[in-house]
Structure 1
């Protein structure tokens, strides 16, 4: 906001008053403030939920393929047991 001078801020304020009206401007500003507060709290929750440390080792493609095959085999056996 360092690039805006008093003249630009005054023009922006006049445009807001013309768009929203003098009576609705405080309600609009309050609603924007609430929205920003909610956004900031949700963003903080996302940051808190993120794991702090990356996984210890990245699995190779072969290891990933082997684990996927094992999971597929377990799923197939579960489906076959459900059919019985």
Structure 2
């Protein structure tokens, strides 16, 4: 398909991943929040992003994942992603 669909919910809830048909998705983009004031906030944001990525990979292992992180050293935690 040539479209993007935004579904509000949580990537940590199987019911939301089922509702958005993640197992049939052509790709999943996990973007980081931009509301941080210091480096600790960037670390926390990356931690949440990594958790979401793990949940999506566990639920839909064949869905390509594109993940945005702030800290390059955190790429280690999402080596399974198609693009970071």
Structure of higher CA gyration radius: 1
Q: TM-score scaled to structure 1, two decimals?
A: 0.29
More strand by share: 2
Higher relative contact order (CA 8 A, sep 6+): 2
More helix by share: 1
Q: TM-score scaled to structure 2, two decimals?
A: 0.29
